């Protein structure tokens, strides 16, 4: 495990510790089709399947 950390400094001199991002897992998201419109009923089945896939994983 890495032992380095990031710090941030504000203009007023206050220093904050930023999280060690190596400890977090990357969560990938599925892209939405470019033509998909959530307000168009023709795409309703597509968005229902997306929600189903979201809760399965």
Q: Who wins on pLDDT, 57 or 7?
A: 7
Spatial contact of 55 and 45, defined as CB atoms under 8 Å apart: no
pLDDT digits (tens, 9 = 90+) for 44-53: 999 998 888 7
> What is the predicted pLDDT for the residue at 1?
59
Q: How far is CA 20 from CA 6, 7, 15, 16, 40, in A?
A: 7, 10, 16, 13, 42
The overall pTM is greater than 0.85: no
Domain boundaries in the chain? Answer: 6-56
> What is the predicted pLDDT for the residue at 55?
65
pLDDT digits (tens, 9 = 90+) for 14-57: 888 776 666 777 778 778 888 999 999 999 999 998 888 766 55
């Amino acid at each position: 495990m890495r032992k380095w950390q990031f710090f941030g400094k504000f203009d007023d001199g206050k220093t904050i510790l930023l999280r060690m991002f190596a400890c977090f897992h990357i969560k990938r998201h599925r892209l939405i089709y470019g033509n998909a419109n959530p307000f168009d009923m023709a795409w309703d089945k597509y968005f229902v399947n997306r929600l189903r896939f979201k809760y399965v994983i």
